[in-house]
Each structure stands twice: as C-alpha cells, then as structure tokens.
C-alpha cells in the first residue's frame, strides 16, 4: 500500500469515529503528496464540513470538481 493510500485509510477510519480534526490532518498530509487527486480534496471537504467549516469545505468540493468535473462522489 502506498503512502497516500495509508493516509487516506487512517483518515477515513477517523472520520467514521467522528474524529474530524484528526481525519483532516491525514487528508492534508495526503494532499501534500498529490494536489491533483479529486478524491483527496473531497475527503478534506467532508472533514471540514463535519467541523462546521463550511466555506473551506466548499472550496475543497469546488477544487475536486475543478480537477474532475464529472466527479460523481463530490459532496
């Protein structure tokens, strides 16, 4: 498993446990490794939305759609 996949898996687990701030940290680390992955932007947006940081979440969702306009998973 590559480093990004490991970070995403840990972040998803933390999201499921409602540890949104910790999950956000993992998604941000993954984005440092690949800024062009729409799924990473979407996951960061989900974590931010869960924290009530709606403007930042919207930016992430829009960034995800900018990279992949047909992203059916964008929140």
Comparing 32 with 69, which gets the higher pLDDT? 32
3-67: CATH superfamily: Tetratricopeptide repeat domain (1.25.40.10)
Give the whole-number percent of the chain exceeding pLDDT 70.
92
pLDDT at position 70 = 73
CB 61 within 8 A of CB 69: no
Is the pLDDT reported for residue 74 higher than 60?
no
pLDDT at position 69 = 85
Cβ-in-10-Å burial (0-12, 13-18, 19+) of 58 comes to middle
- Residue given tokens 């062009």 in the structure block: 36
In angstroms, the CA 75 to CA 71 distance is 9
In angstroms, the CA 62 to CA 18 distance is 23
Is the pLDDT reported for residue 72 higher than 70?
no
Instruction: Provide the mean pLDDT of the chain.
Output: 93
Is the pLDDT reported for residue 6 higher than 60?
yes
């Amino acid at each position: 498993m590559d480093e990004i996949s490991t970070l995403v898996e840990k972040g998803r687990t933390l999201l499921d446990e409602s540890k949104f701030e910790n999950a956000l940290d993992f998604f941000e680390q993954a984005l440092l490794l690949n800024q062009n992955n729409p799924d990473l932007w979407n996951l960061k947006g989900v974590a931010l939305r869960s924290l009530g940081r709606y403007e930042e979440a919207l930016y992430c969702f829009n960034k995800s759609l900018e990279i992949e306009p047909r992203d059916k998973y964008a929140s």
